Amino acid sequence: MRLIGPTQFFRMLRINYVLARHGLDDIIFATHLLRPFRFMIYALPWNWFRPNRAPRGKRIRRALEDLGPVFIKFGQMLSTRRDLLADDIADELQMLQDAVPAFPNETARQIVEKAFGKSLEDLFESFEADPLASASIAQVHGARLKTGEDVVVKVLRPDILPVIKRDLSLLYIIAEWAARYSSQIRRLRPVEVVAEYEKTIIDEMDLMREAANASQLRRNFEYSTDLYVPEIYWDYTRRNVMVMERVYGISIRNIELLKQTNTNLERLAELGVEIFFTQVFTHNFFHADMHPGNIFVDNKDPQNPQYIAVDFGIMGTLNQLDKRYLAENFLAFFQRDYYKVAKLHVESGWVPAHTRVDEFEAAIRSVCEPIFERPLKEISFGQLLLRLFQTARRFNMEVQPQLVLLQKTLLNIEGLGRQLYPDLDLWTTAKPFLERWMNEQVGTKAMLSGFKENLPYIVEKLPELPALIYSVLKKASEAPNQEKHLHEIQKLREEIKRSNQRNAIAIGGASLLMSGFILLGLTDNEAAMVMGAPLISWILGGVGSFFLLYAFQD
């Protein structure tokens, strides 16, 4: 159990002071410890002379800004959840996405010049003093290279790492206390969640890593018209400074301008869902900070708009088991197969093995059944997750920390979809993609892909077979009592000879079978149909299968 040190103690005092200074005393007295003394709010002197308080949304935003990057990130996440927040609060928190107070231009200039050991005049043709945007971790300035390209220069905030580590240490203490004294919060695994968040935010402060993320994402969508990723200029990139191509588009949150330019908002909303699932299940590399401040739209063709992404500090990946598990769960939800959902949860270890699947199935059905066949504007993932958690308490279900980024991204996608096209049917949009992905994982295509991946290993090991056989025979011939084992050696030689014959037959059969698969894949071609490719493919497959059965019979 971590103890509060002087640094964390004074930080907690600072947090309470900031909340009180911005007129948010009720949050302080809503804590379990101070709830009995809530009446004291009205006895505090600074509450006697506040006749003209700022609106509550502005007070909350200013408090988060004063508390620093960790709290700003929290506000950014909340800003996309308009179904959970009042409009006035959501509007203010939205400003945290790229309107955090900037640090002085002279400071930015010094950071860039120190990083490259050159003056700004030597590095750039021009450099804009006023930042284009300022966020919790860094701010961005426009510039032009000596070679004429328009770029943006991202500069990390000075001395930010000690601030981040201080607040993270406080979060760990709060998480440990909460887990120790609340069984309900313990199931959320708050310490593991904080650890995952720590890894994410520390990685976000390395702009070399962000540049590498951007390059990978750009390569993944290199030939796509769905998402555009700016180019990175590696010669101008360091750990605390990054230079990338300057892109122009309409901010995704400027719905009015998108409507005025006749942008197809329905297509834009569907495209956002498709891009998300492509990143998660096809590329296994997804943008995990997709709040509206990081997304723009290129609507040169209003009916076929293209997304433009920026800010690649937070990216997520999943292992193969996680992807398979998620895809099966999504499909089971879409098909309303609640028994399979419950069974998958038990098999994955998310709920204890002794859980009665039928009872868990009934609980999931009562939560999920009402949401289907309704437009997105009538469905709240936030409320759904809340109800699922309330239901799952009875079954001791635990949150999986490795999926926190994915859950956060899903919430961002929902918030984005609500703003663009409230009638979007998320289920109908996502279901065909997931079905196609699952077929690729378990169908004929997956089998051929697995054979193709393993073929180099098989070919690599074949030359070692004669030497291995020779080694076995030599050891046998040099063993004591050779005459006694002569008969066994002769039998081994005959078995090796038969094995070689079977291997030859098996290789021939596999070749015929593969030829049949290849021809079968050509049956969509009209010319191949005329030439009888389907019939030939079945004949080759049959003969190949016969050879394989003969080769491997006992």
**Residues with catalytic roles:** 289
Q: What is the CA radius of gyration of the chain?
A: 31
Q: Is the Cα dihedral 188, 192, 198, 199 positive or negative?
A: negative
Contact 353, 340 (CB under 8 A): no
Position 41, amino acid: I
- With H, G, I as helix, E, B as strand and everything else as coil, classify residue 223: coil
Position 490, amino acid: Q
Count Cα atoms within 13 angstroms, Cβ side, for 151.
26
How many other β-carbons are positioned within 10 Å of the β-carbon of residue 58? Answer: 16
Cβ neighbours of residue 382 under 8 Å, at least 6 residues apart?
A: 81, 83, 84, 411, 414
- In the DSSP assignment, the letter for residue 100 is S
Q: What angle do CA 134, 139, 145 make, to 5 degrees?
A: 130
Residue 426: closest CA among 268, 270, 304, 265? 270
- In the DSSP assignment, the letter for residue 151 is E
Instruction: Provide the CA 499 distance to its chain's centre, in angstroms.
Output: 49
Residue 465: closest CA among 455, 473, 454? 473
Residue identified by tokens 């290993």 is 457
What is the C-alpha to C-alpha distance for residues 34 and 433, in angstroms, rounded to an integer?
Answer: 50
Contact 191, 171 (CB under 8 A): no
What is the C-alpha to C-alpha distance for residues 453 and 160, in angstroms, rounded to an integer?
Answer: 45
